Each structure stands twice: as structure tokens, then as C-alpha cells.
């Protein structure tokens, strides 16, 4: 059976990148030859120990020379920098993609370096955990999760079809949308919850020593859920917050208004508003379960 691509190159074998490589190991229909690239020698050593790829190197420009598909799995703040370094060395007809959680800033940063003979088809898998690094990945990470496509206008139908088949082989569900809509959706369903989790844990950490110790001793499930999210990689999330600034701040303003409305309801013994807000939360949870995204 002929694979989708002969050679797949993943730059950044962290949680997402190593999960892609693990899935490709299990699905021979994806690629015949796997390459993993990371500038950190320790990451490369760990990728070798895990047997994530057929070839593991720190040399990105050499790695992409014969790759049919290059996947950038690096923090969004450096995607344009890495793209600028590798695009001159990619072969004609290859496909370039990234898995960044922000679209507007990445597209703006990467567009000046694109070549007409290379298709750019970014796709953002809405999957992840609070863990990072090569050991964090697993082959079923993308199973039944959404992958959001925002292909460049000049991407050929053939390249888009290849990437759709690629992510379907990863187990994902597909949706196409424009860049601005993507960034707004991600701001509410991913970026704002992480911002709140980091902030709540920061608030707990700055309490008086005695109270802080009791918070940690008696943490209930709600607080523990926030700490799980807050364990995520700080550099990755710093870049996401800064590179989706406008959409995130818009959603944060909306949340602040809603939080103030809830505070007013509690202050005024407005039971109807309190119950209505809680019921909306329960309804969203039920909808997530029905959509198999819980």
C-alpha cells in the first residue's frame, strides 16, 4: 500500500510532535520514512531511546531537504523563525504545515517566506495534555478530537486533500475555517481557560502562608482541575497569550463582565440568576459529552 507521503519530517518531537510520530509508526499508510528534528541534543537522545523516528537529528535544514511533508511542532512564537530557516531548503512540491494554537500571527509571520512551489496547509489539532516533551506523547492523542484547517489561499486541492487524509489517519475530525474565526474560537475554548487556571493558582500561591498551606492540604476537585491545566508548559502558553492577544483580551473582557454579573447576583441574593448561570454550565457539559469531546 502506497503511503500518503514517502518522508515525514516532524520538527519539535514534544507532546504533539511525538504523538504524530507514534501514530505514524502504527499506521504505515501515513509515511514510509520518519524524521524527527530538535535543536536540543537531550531531546534528540530521548527521541532515539523511544525509537520515535527512523532518523533523528539537530540539523533541520538537512532534514527537510528530502521530506514530502514537514510538520512544525514548535511554540507559535518561533514558528516563523523556523519556517524562514527551512523553507529555502525544502524540495519543490513538498507540503509545509504547523500545529500552532494561534493562526493570525503565524500566518502573518510565515507568509513572507513562502515559496510558490511549496504548499502551506496549517492545521491545528485541538488535543493535548498538561505534559510536554518526547515522553508525553501517545498514539491516540488525536483520536476523535477536532483538527481545524486554515489552508493558505494558494494551497492546491491536492495538498489540502493530503493533509485531510493525514489528520484522518491520526484519528481526528476535520473542520475548515478562516484565520480570524479560528483565533476567536481558540481564545474561548482553550486560551481563556488556561489564563484563568494560571491566575487562580497564582492567587492561591500569594495567600498568607498559613492559608496557602491549607489550600494545598484541602484542595477540592475544582481546584485540582485548575492545577492540572496550570501545569502546562509556560513558554508555550506565554507565546499563545501574546500571539492571540486581541481575541484573548476580547474574551477576557466578556468573561469579566459575566463574572461581575455573577458577583452582583450573589451580593443581591439573586437566586434566579445564580441558578440560570449554573444551569448553562451544566448544559454545556452535557453538550460536550454528547459531542464526544468531554
Q: What pLDDT is attached to residue 217?
A: 67
pLDDT band, residue 281 (cuts 50/70/90): confident
> What confidence category does residue 293 fall into, taking pLDDT thresholds of 50, 70 and 90?
low
* R_g (Cα) of the chain, nearest Å: 21
What the chain holds in terms of domains, given with CATH numbers, is: 5-177 (3.40.50.720), 181-290 (1.10.3660.10)
Residue with cell 502573518: 108
Tens of pLDDT along 36-67? 999 999 999 999 999 999 999 999 999 999 99
Give the mean model confidence (pLDDT) for residues 94-119. Answer: 94
Q: Which of 67, 158, 48, 155 is nearest to 111 (CA)?
A: 155
What pLDDT does 77 receive?
92
C-beta separation of 12 from 77 below 8 A: no
Q: How far apart are CA 268 and CA 70, in angstroms?
A: 57
Share of the chain above pLDDT 70, in %: 94
Strands of the sheet containing 146-149, edge to edge, are 123-125, 146-149, 173-176
Task: Please report the pLDDT score of residue 219 as a whole number.
Answer: 64
Question: Would you say residue 291 has pLDDT above 80?
Answer: no
- Which H, E and C letters describe 62-104, residue by residue? HHHCCCCEEEECCCCCCHHHHHHHHHHHCCCCCEEEECCCCCH
Q: How confident is the model at residue 32 (pLDDT cuts 50, 70, 90)?
A: very high
Query: Given this model, what pLDDT does residue 130 score?
Result: 82
Residue owning grid cell 492545577: 227
pLDDT tens-digit profile of 164-174?
A: 999 999 999 99
pLDDT at 242 over 70: yes
**How many percent of the chain have pLDDT more than 90?**
73
What nine digits make up the cell of 288? 460536550
Q: What is the pLDDT of residue 86?
A: 98
The 10s digit of each residue's pLDDT in 251-269 is 999 999 999 999 999 999 9
Entry pTM:
0.85
Phi then psi for residue 148, to 5 deg, are -100, 120
The confidence score (pLDDT) of residue 208 equals: 64
Average pLDDT over every residue of 119-127 = 93
Distance between CA atoms of 76 and 66, rounded to whole angstroms? 24
Flag whether pLDDT at 294 surpasses 70.
Answer: no
Q: What is the pLDDT of residue 282?
A: 86
- Stretch 174-178: mean pLDDT, rounded? 94
Distance in angstroms (rounded) separating the CA atoms of residues 78 and 19? 20
The strand ranges marked E within the chain are 5-11, 31-37, 55-57, 69-72, 95-98, 119-120, 123-125, 146-149, 173-176
pLDDT mean across residues, the chain = 91
Amino acid at each position: 500500500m502506497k503511503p500518503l507521503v514517502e518522508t515525514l519530517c516532524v520538527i519539535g518531537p514534544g507532546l504533539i510532535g511525538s504523538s504524530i510520530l507514534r501514530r505514524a509508526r502504527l499506521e504505515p499508510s501515513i509515511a514510509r520514512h520518519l524524521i524527527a528534528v530538535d535543536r536540543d541534543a537531550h531531546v534528540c537522545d530521548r527521541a532515539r531511546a523511544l525509537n520515535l523516528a527512523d532518523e533523528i537529528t539537530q540539523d533541520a535544514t538537512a532534514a527537510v531537504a528530502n521530506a514530502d511533508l514537514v510538520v512544525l511542532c514548535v511554540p507559535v512564537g518561533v514558528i516563523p523563525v523556523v519556517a524562514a530557516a527551512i523553507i529555502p531548503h525544502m524540495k519543490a512540491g513538498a507540503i509545509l504545515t504547523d500545529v500552532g494554537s494561534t493562526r493570525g500571527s503565524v500566518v502573518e509571520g510565515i507568509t513572507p517566506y513562502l515559496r510558490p512551489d511549496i504548499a502551506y496547509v496549517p492545521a491545528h489539532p485541538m488535543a493535548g495534555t498538561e505534559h510536554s516533551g518526547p515522553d508525553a506523547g501517545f498514539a491516540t492523542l488525536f483520536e476523535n478530537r477536532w483538527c481545524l484547517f486554515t489552508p493558505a489561499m494558494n494551497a492546491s486541492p491536492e495538498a489540502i486533500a493530503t493533509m485531510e487524509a493525514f489528520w484522518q489517519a491520526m484519528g481526528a475530525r476535520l473542520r475548515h475555517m478562516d484565520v480570524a474565526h479560528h483565533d476567536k474560537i481558540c481564545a474561548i475554548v482553550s486560551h481563556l481557560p488556561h489564563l484563568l487556571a494560571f491566575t487562580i493558582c497564582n492567587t492561591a500561591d500569594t495567600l498568607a502562608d498559613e492559608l496557602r498551606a491549607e489550600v494545598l492540604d484541602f484542595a477540592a476537585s475544582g481546584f485540582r482541575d485548575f492545577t492540572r491545566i496550570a501545569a502546562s508548559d509556560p513558554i508555550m502558553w506565554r507565546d499563545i497569550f501574546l500571539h492571540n492577544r486581541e481575541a484573548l483580551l476580547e474574551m477576557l473582557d466578556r468573561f469579566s463582565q459575566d463574572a461581575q454579573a455573577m458577583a452582583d447576583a450573589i451580593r443581591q441574593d439573586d437566586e434566579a440568576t445564580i441558578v440560570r448561570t449554573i444551569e448553562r454550565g451544566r448544559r454545556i457539559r452535557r453538550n460536550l459529552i454528547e459531542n464526544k469531546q468531554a
